[in-house]
Amino acid sequence: MTTVSELGTFQDAFAAALAERTSAPIAAWLPSPEVGETGLAVYRNTIAKGCVDALAANFPTVAGLVGAEWFEAAAALFARQHPPASAALAAYGEAFPDWLARFPPAGDLPYLPAVAGLDRLWTTALFAEEAEALTAEAFALAPEALAGARVTLHPSLAFVWFDNGLPGLWLGAREPEPDGLEWVEDPQGVLIVRPADAVACRLLDAAGHAFLAAARSGASLGEAITAAALADPDADLAALFAALIADGVFIDLIPGAPS
């Protein structure tokens, strides 16, 4: 009868055999080395295919921009160098953006690692902790009280600022039927959040990014609004705040000293 300890020993040896691409770690359980190598090849191919499919699902914008053949070859090489740490591949590919930055064939595509990074943020938002977003009613306070309050941001929220138009390119490429993708030089930000069942993404202007960065650092709402106004003196601050509430980025309102 196989004990739990023996089963664990075999599982560890089997994982080592797959990672090291040799049947030596499981030789004690094999009738012959040839049988081991043949069987391991089947498992390796199955795992490799699963990794490539998972990367294609987790980095669809990258795959769409470079084409299936290029992506599958790169993904297969990445999977050999970075085997999955667990059987669950839904969030596989944490190291893929940094790997692309060092991947010589991607040298002519300098935007690709950043695109992969945005794809990764989307996947991270998808699997982030659940939290109920505040509605506009939660902010129905006297102006002084509202200005002194602080907010807790949604755990799925990500926002990034770029010195170019990469966010617009990324959002356009994620459309079901991308058409007329354009690269613009103007700085842009992007907001990614999953307040309910689906991940939502949109462009974020300088004032919105400054507001969220201040709020995340612990600033009061009054201080965050001031940061937004400094980033863009022409911004409609009331509309900005209303849009963020509609996005579902706030999950808690913490009273503070009036400011």
Per-residue pLDDT of the chain (259 residues), as tens digits, is 444 455 455 445 545 555 555 555 545 545 555 544 555 554 455 667 889 999 999 999 999 999 999 999 999 999 988 888 776 788 899 999 999 999 999 999 999 999 999 999 999 999 999 999 999 999 999 999 999 999 999 999 999 999 999 999 999 999 877 776 777 789 999 999 999 999 999 999 999 999 999 999 999 999 999 999 999 999 999 999 999 999 999 999 999 865 4
| Whether 140 and 250 share a structural domain | yes
Q: Between the CA of residue 165 and those of 4, 17, 181, 199, what are the distances in Å?
A: 55, 45, 11, 21
Residues 6+ apart with CB under 8 A from 11: none
Residues 6+ apart with CB under 8 A from 193: 125, 154, 156, 157, 158, 199, 200, 247, 248, 249
End residue of a domain, out of 101, 126, 151: 126
* 16 located within any domain: no
Q: Between the CA of residue 234 and those of 8, 48, 188, 224, 231, what are the distances in Å?
A: 63, 52, 16, 16, 9
| Whether 195 and 97 share a structural domain | no
* 24 located within any domain: no
Determine the Cα angle at 153 with ends 195 and 148, to 5°. Answer: 135
pLDDT at 61: 95
| Whether 175 and 111 share a structural domain | no
Strand partners, 200: 193
The one-letter code for the residue type at 216 is R
| Whether 120 and 147 share a structural domain | no
* 157 located within any domain: yes
Spatial distance between the Cα atoms of 167 and 188, rounded to a whole number of angstroms: 6
Spatial distance between the Cα atoms of 15 and 63, rounded to a whole number of angstroms: 29
- 184 is in which domain, residue-wise? 136-254
For the chain, how many structural domains are there in total?
A: 2
| Whether 153 and 231 share a structural domain | yes
Three-state SS at 241: helix
pLDDT at 44: 56
pLDDT at 101: 96
* 26 located within any domain: no
pLDDT at 126: 95
pLDDT at 36: 47
| Whether 144 and 116 share a structural domain | no
The one-letter code for the residue type at 154 is H
End residue of a domain, out of 100, 126, 152: 126
* 11 located within any domain: no
* 4 located within any domain: no
Could you give the count of Cα atoms lying within 13 Å of 73 in the half-sphere of its Cβ?
7
Spatial distance between the Cα atoms of 96 and 89, rounded to a whole number of angstroms: 13
Three-state SS at 185: coil
| Whether 104 and 141 share a structural domain | no
Q: b/e per residue, 27-59, with b = 16+ CB within 10 A?
A: eeebeeeeebeeebeeebeebeeebbebbbebb
Spatial distance between the Cα atoms of 224 and 249, rounded to a whole number of angstroms: 14
